[in-house]
Amino acid sequence: MFFLKLSWQLLLVKALIKMATSSSEAIQLQTNDGVIHTVDIRFALQICPVRNIIMQERQKNLYTDDVIPLPRVDAKNLRFIIKWWTSVQDLEENLPRMGKGKLIQLLTEENANHQFLLQIILAANYLQMENLLLITTNLLAEALNECKCVEEIRKKFLRN
């Protein structure tokens, strides 16, 4: 019974993604600081909690224009995640390698520090964006491996 339900959900997700690639539907997401972002449904379907809400609406034939809250993500982090996803959405199989390069480029452009990277990791974890979470945690691990001692880690990652 469980596998039947799971396969039904997978079919629904595939149908939603297929539908999303052929339409320009937009979804509104509200961050914890009250900022509303209008995003492409293809991006929204990458966010597991949002995808679940959309799936439930579609199963019940509800098509609302309600804003979907993201209580653990702020506007700055969501804007960065949207920018990253937009730049890597067509990479597919090259995503781990090319996505990391694009992430480093965007972090450099934002003049971001390691605290910001930690915030992106927390947001990616909450949003259940597996690819972004994998890439950001690998980048963090590389930064930790570069440190020679605990004092270096403290200097690099802790705010003063």
- Region class of 37: left (phi > 0), else alpha (psi between -120 and 50), else beta: beta
**Residue 8 confidence (pLDDT):** 52
Angle CA(75)–CA(31)–CA(50) in degrees, nearest 5? 120
**108 phi and psi, to 5 degrees?**
-65, -45
Instruction: Work out the average pLDDT over 91-95.
Output: 75
Whether pLDDT at 118 is above 80 = yes
- CA 111 to CA 105: how far, in whole Å? 10
Confidence of residue 19 (pLDDT cuts 50, 70, 90): low
Measuring CA to CA, how many Å separate 96 from each of 20, 92, 126? 23, 9, 20
CB 12 within 8 A of CB 58: yes
Question: 57-71 pLDDT, tens per residue?
Answer: 888 887 778 899 999
What is this structure's pTM? 0.82
Whether pLDDT at 72 is above 80 = yes
- CA 134 to CA 121: how far, in whole Å? 9
